[in-house]
Structure 1
Amino acid sequence: MDQLAPSKFSPYRVFSAEEWAKFRADAPLTLTEDEVRRLRSMNDPVDLEEVARIYLAVSRLLYAHVESSQLLFRQRQRFLSEDRAHPKTPFIIGIAGSVAVGKSTTARVLKELLARWPSSPKVDLITTDGFLYPNAVLEAEGLMQRKGFPESYDVGAILRFLSEIKAGVPRVEAPVYSHFVYDVVPGERITIDRPDILIFEGLNVLQVRDMPKDGKAVPFVSDFFDYSIYIDADEIDIQRWYIERFMRLRETAFRETGSFFHRYSQVSPEEALQIAEGLWSNINGKNLYENILPTRPRADLILRKGPNHLTEQVALRKL
């Protein structure tokens, strides 16, 4: 059964983009066109109209969940007779989806919208890229062609990071990744200091593992999420967006000396197209079907994009 098809058996309520836009209500548009332009990724056409049509309602929904979580936290403190000085638990939002589908734009736009709500919450954003094993490790383990697959990440480091964030630990550090050199930056860290909201974005953040037969606890990354969003689209569209982005990068960032992909700027357009198609077929497309797409039904909210890269359908998990 297609869980996204309107049905009484579906765990989701499905809305068209036009229907969803009405849920913006009185949420103010606090971004400018120039700000949206800076926040969006290459080849992503998200503009101020799309922010008003889709993301303001998403921001309003998320903030309602944040407020409810804070209320529940205070009620639990009273129930447990806990010290009022006990730190509140940050609200963590997970964002998943394929490469080139628009996760980064969604994460950055939501970060800015949430931070501009009247209560001015502290909102931070972390991507899973920094938790990839360094290229030297991937090469030694024969995993360079599986980069982005679950086994290419230091899951233990991710779990430790999220556990400390949830515990309210001050100044939690995360590794930094450079897309220019296509590797984790040695010795460089980003510090997250007790945010009200943390957005955690990555390909496989909703994935689960096999459960142990002995019943011992096996934490999943998503166990630390208070809310999860999946960015969805047809594979044919995602593949086209990936190839278009690759060809555009070939004319821009890949041309810079020191870029990991500099060699691709030196080949003919025809050869570059073949390389991009091969990277999709052998790596990113496989990862989508083997690991990413199967996690879609675990999301609380699914933003379904059309061929023009703009959201055309929203699926909201029923309460």
Structure 2
Amino acid sequence: MTVSVAPSVSMFVELEREAWRALRASTPMTLTAEDLDGLRGLGEQMDLNEVADVYLPLSRLLNLQVAAAQRLWAEQQAFLGGSARKVPFIIAIAGSVAVGKSTTARILQALLARWPDHPRVELVTTDGFLFPNGVLTERGLMKRKGFPESYDRRALVRMLAELKAGRAEVTAPVYSHLVYDVVPDEAKVIRQPDILILEGLNVLQSGATGQRIPHTFLSDFFDFSIYVDATEQDIRRWYVERFLRLQQTAFRDERSYFRRFSELTHEQAVSMAESVWGDINGPNLAQNIAPTRSRARLILLKGPDHKVKRVRLRKL
């Protein structure tokens, strides 16, 4: 008897960089080299060619998605005969520490805000929703900072729910990487943006933490989601390289939480970075972050040089 084997079925359309670049069409370059200097992350090899090849096609796709969502909203309002406030289009960006998701978020914010209809684009990171260090210490979670249980997910869900409910003004807590903690009595005010970008390690998680399954997931509020991906080997190397750069710059600030690391020798600094990766960032990536990759609408796969070499787009 002959048994036929069905071809593997994928939820994604996979595009090599050359094919993806062609989808830019006539989208104009609206960033300058000076703009990019203020947007790229520490040590990232991001140039205008990367913006043109990868992020302009992505901004075009997102602009189409936003326009379609706004048309659907208008049609539904006409159907209901209501006059509810327009709510923001929410884009989630996930990925590991040191993979470059923050740079991706900042570049997309800049590009989307420069489209001809000049949408108002806000960027919020989930760092502000980490529990303060005092709370993490009390709960024995300082060595699991960045793991799902270290976030005030209820507050994060509440902020997204308020945005999608059309509230005129919403606030988000502010985090300082210098002092490695949430800033007390400081908040970012968000006033009805057209687009909100939410960037963070675990934004694509289902929300279950081993205790119980929540009734509401963060992803319930997302209109589009992006996962920035690379091999664990590359991300680990980028993390160590970033740690060494920070040791020579931000860690030397007297206010820095990591001031003590600025006195380490090169060998000691490498050993410390490797230890942090092995104990915290690596396990968090393997256990919590990487498993959410397939939940994204679009995956940017980077090569060893930090440049995107392949794009996966979820089929509709």
How far does residue 211 in structure 1 lie from its aligned partner after superposition? 10
Partner of 1:219: 216
Question: Per-residue displacement from partner, 1:80-117 (whole Å, max 9, x unpaired)?
Answer: 2213xx10121000000000000110000000100000
Q: Which amino acid aligns with 1:100?
A: A
Identity of paired residues, percent?
56
Matched, 1:50 2:43: no
Matched, 1:32 2:32: yes
Question: Per-residue displacement from partner, 1:6-43 (whole Å, max 9, x unpaired)?
Answer: x7500000011111000000111000011011100001
Partner of 2:4: none
- Whole-Å separation in 2 of the counterparts to 1:255 and 1:67: 46
Q: Which runs of 4+ in 1 moved over 6 A?
A: none
Partner of 1:209: 207
TM-score by length of 1: 0.95
- Whole-Å separation in 2 of the counterparts to 1:291 and 1:314: 22
How far does residue 209 in structure 1 lie from its aligned partner after superposition? 3.2
* Count of residues in correspondence between the two structures: 309
DSSP 3-state at the match of 1:239: helix
Question: Per-residue displacement from partner, 1:291-319 (whole Å, max 9, x unpaired)?
Answer: 00000000000000000001000000011
- Unaligned stretches of 5+ in structure 2? 1-6
Alignment of 1:87-166 (within 5 A): 87-166=85-164
How far does residue 173 in structure 1 lie from its aligned partner after superposition? 0.7
Report if the CA contact (8 A) 1:304-1:314 is conserved: yes
- Unaligned stretches of 5+ in structure 1? 1-6
- Whole-Å separation in 2 of the counterparts to 1:302 and 1:269: 35
The equivalent position to 1:250 in structure 2, one of 208, 228, 247, is 247
Alignment of 1:291-302 (within 5 A): 291-302=288-299
Partner of 1:3: none
- Whole-Å separation in 2 of the counterparts to 1:88 and 1:262: 46
CA RMSD across the alignment: 1.5
Partner of 2:3: none
- Whole-Å separation in 2 of the counterparts to 1:115 and 1:265: 38
- Whole-Å separation in 1 of the counterparts to 2:35 and 2:76: 39
Partner of 2:257: 260
The equivalent position to 1:239 in structure 2, one of 223, 228, 236, is 236
Partner of 1:4: none
Q: Which amino acid aligns with 1:65?
A: Q
Question: Per-residue displacement from partner, 1:253-298 (whole Å, max 9, x unpaired)?
Answer: 1011110001011121111111100000000000000000000000
Report if the CA contact (8 A) 2:171-2:187 is conserved: yes
Question: Per-residue displacement from partner, 1:167-225 (whole Å, max 9, x unpaired)?
Answer: 1211211100000000000001110000000000000000003499x9x9711111110
DSSP 3-state at the match of 2:92: strand
Report if the CA contact (8 A) 1:233-1:305 is conserved: yes
